[in-house]
Structure 1
């Protein structure tokens, strides 16, 4: 009887869902996507297109698919667990694992903060002129102001949804203007490893298959108090589009880079250089479109990165799992300050700094991936939302990919 009533309630919920109701489910995965789609992501994509033409598009396709599965695991954990993800890990796997996860994510957010700070200054200087360093300071201060509001997560989520939409328009328009060779782009979806591309492939994996960002999805689900009856709709209107959107935009950056450089005969290893080469092909408007996309990516990623790092480290320390908790605000400030200080201290090679910082994230990601897989397979925690065999298949493939990237990175750094 109780089961029948439960099914009736679920059916009623589905029937009552309106268009606005579906829109209301959007958010957590788009925050995840905005976090992973930052200046480091764009810089590595520009290098992939400029140095290796269309041949590394496949890395984005594979990374996006794997990212969907890990984000989905986090979403289900956010629905099923009565407490936050890190707190649940402490309860079921032991406190050391939860603390290690929180500090691991904090370490990753510190690395991402460097790329965000560098990219924000570069992007805004391309749009408005002036010193990139000055704009880095201005952007960091603006993000700190946004995160000072009481309802931090709600403000962040709404802002990022708008920014992601604007970025999508900018990069789609750039691709239309650049007119890439779509046949060769499809050929690039076939895996290959050009000589000298190893460190760049690791960086692309680190930015596009961002397990730390997927890990944070459960916190957004908890903020919204989503239930099991919401799961299917969340998958269709939030999880899949929220992760696919940055994947498509990253692929477009590779295509635009390869196409523009092929038509102009120029060379570019940075977004700024690409924007300047883009101008002869599309005029000042084309260059501005690309610069606006970079600015949006930097600002959105900076907000999401600082918010997520602050929230999860606060949770690991037992100081609250909300973005607006005092401990989370303090850690958020530390993350923003770290990115600003490192950027001001190492101005000579910002692009190299971004690539190295993004690559290093894969050293911490395997731990987070293992924890997500273990927790998602616990029947006592998940119930009917427990991983199915195909979830575990893609989870293992993803874990092997990120471990292989970590091993390769260590080999390259030591060699």
Structure 2
């Protein structure tokens, strides 16, 4: 139960708005057509969609497609629908309360519980950063021949890219993200056209199969896909960046802002669905279809794409999209880390310091694993990072659903009863799948 006295005290003290000076910094139209007003709100949805198509997704989607064909497309669809609902709830929390999820957790829970939630979220951000380091380093190796360890070290320099974009304002950050998303979309659109998968088999893959749950190997990858798609730190991120819009902080203004924010995120996440499905479909059509079910690594996929398709540019497009994906994920991970640290701890450190700390924590295991086990070890580490993300999901999802279901906190924007049921059902599915994975892992399944 929430501590009403703590909540009142927190509301009276009015902590600094989420993201500080960026809060309410992007002007939006008060009038005009619906489309013109929507354009002012477009952006945050695409920034959160980045996390749903980062290099971690590539590893799980490639492994899933090569081993099980189109079967796991239903998992991608399910996880994307979960993401749409949960991101709508995150936007609702931020717009209705003026708090991001981290701030709300700090105000609602006791200090020990808050610290536990913060540590869980930091673990998720490090796992995400780990995937970005590996993915970007692999892309640098494939395109420019840079050794994997050196490529991982080079990724630390992306802090300067983030700082440069932030100095130019939030819209510049969004424009950068959307441009790279367009590159990824085009690359995979071409690859799908080249692979020419059978439409009937693809559509059948979107129908759920009981074999996914009963097969431990399929379940492991399926939960990795969920972890890579419904990313916990993205919920913290979205609840904050929707507040960058300068909508009127009135009930009418918040209702309109919520409608546009949900439209924005839903459109962007449908783009993420296309990219994730395209990676798996490509792996199923090219690798599984040729009997190469052992393909699990990004580098294997790169080396085999052109020979199996018979078109030299296929592998290059794959590597370019991977590099764009890794660079893009840098922006969202940096912002999420800032939001989480400031929200839970009210601790402010320079962006460059925060970025170097999290990136350093991600680079170290990559260097160690590469040195001990070679480049094959990084592929297993990449898939494992996505499972770690999934294991952190309940610690973000359950507080979020509790908050948006609380009339005292949400006021007129509290979720309707049907949406509350759907949200708790999603939380239940996530917890159940994670418990099943944990049981199979401990039992040696």
TM-score by length of 1: 0.89
User: Tell me, what secondary structure is at the counterpart of 1:147?
Assistant: helix
Q: Does 1:139 align with 2:155?
A: yes
The CA deviation string for residues 142-185 of structure 1, in whole angstroms up to 9 with x for no partner, is: x1112334537554333212111211111111111110111111
Deviation at 1:260, TM superposition (A): 1.0
Q: How far apart, in 1, do the equivalents of 2:163 and 2:73 lie?
A: 39
Deviation at 1:264, TM superposition (A): 4.4
Corresponding residue for residue 380 of structure 1: 408
CA contact (8 A) 1:313 1:328 kept: no
The CA deviation string for residues 222-266 of structure 1, in whole angstroms up to 9 with x for no partner, is: 233444122212222x11012221122111111011111255444
Q: How many residues align?
A: 397
Corresponding residue for residue 188 of structure 1: 205
Segment drifting more, 48-57 vs 203-212: 203-212
Deviation at 1:390, TM superposition (A): 2.6
Corresponding residue for residue 262 of structure 2: 235
CA contact (8 A) 1:205 1:405 kept: no
The CA deviation string for residues 277-310 of structure 1, in whole angstroms up to 9 with x for no partner, is: 1102142211111111111111212331233123
Deviation at 1:15, TM superposition (A): 4.2
Corresponding residue for residue 273 of structure 1: 300
* One of 124, 129, 141 as aligned partner of 1:113: 129
Corresponding residue for residue 355 of structure 2: 332
The CA deviation string for residues 346-375 of structure 1, in whole angstroms up to 9 with x for no partner, is: 112011001111101222210211110111
Corresponding residue for residue 252 of structure 1: 278
Corresponding residue for residue 211 of structure 1: 232
CA contact (8 A) 1:32 1:304 kept: yes
Deviation at 1:405, TM superposition (A): 2.4
* One of 383, 386, 389 as aligned partner of 1:355: 383
CA contact (8 A) 1:215 1:372 kept: no
User: Tell me, what secondary structure is at the counterpart of 1:346?
Assistant: helix
The CA deviation string for residues 192-236 of structure 1, in whole angstroms up to 9 with x for no partner, is: 125331211111111112233123201111233444122212222
CA contact (8 A) 2:93 2:99 kept: no
CA 1:40–1:65: 2 relative to 1, 3 Å: same
Q: How far apart, in 2, do the equivalents of 1:330 and 1:336 lie?
A: 10
CA 1:306–1:15: 2 relative to 1, 3 Å: closer
Corresponding residue for residue 365 of structure 2: 342
* One of 280, 286, 289 as aligned partner of 2:317: 289
Deviation at 1:328, TM superposition (A): 5.0
Corresponding residue for residue 99 of structure 2: 83
Corresponding residue for residue 440 of structure 2: 412
CA contact (8 A) 1:314 1:328 kept: no
Q: Does 1:35 align with 2:56?
A: no
Corresponding residue for residue 7 of structure 1: none
Superposition RMSD in Å: 2.2
CA 1:315–1:153: 2 relative to 1, 3 Å: farther
Deviation at 1:344, TM superposition (A): 0.9
Deviation at 1:397, TM superposition (A): 2.1
Q: How far apart, in 2, do the equivalents of 1:264 and 1:380 lie?
A: 58
| Structure 2 unmatched ranges of 5 or more | 1-27, 248-252
* One of 156, 162, 165 as aligned partner of 2:179: 162
User: Tell me, what secondary structure is at the counterpart of 1:148?
Assistant: helix
CA contact (8 A) 1:113 1:336 kept: yes
TM-score by length of 2: 0.83
Q: How far apart, in 2, do the equivalents of 1:98 and 1:216 lie?
A: 17
Deviation at 1:187, TM superposition (A): 0.7
Q: How far apart, in 2, do the equivalents of 1:262 and 1:84 lie?
A: 43
CA 1:276–1:264: 2 relative to 1, 3 Å: farther
Deviation at 1:314, TM superposition (A): 2.6
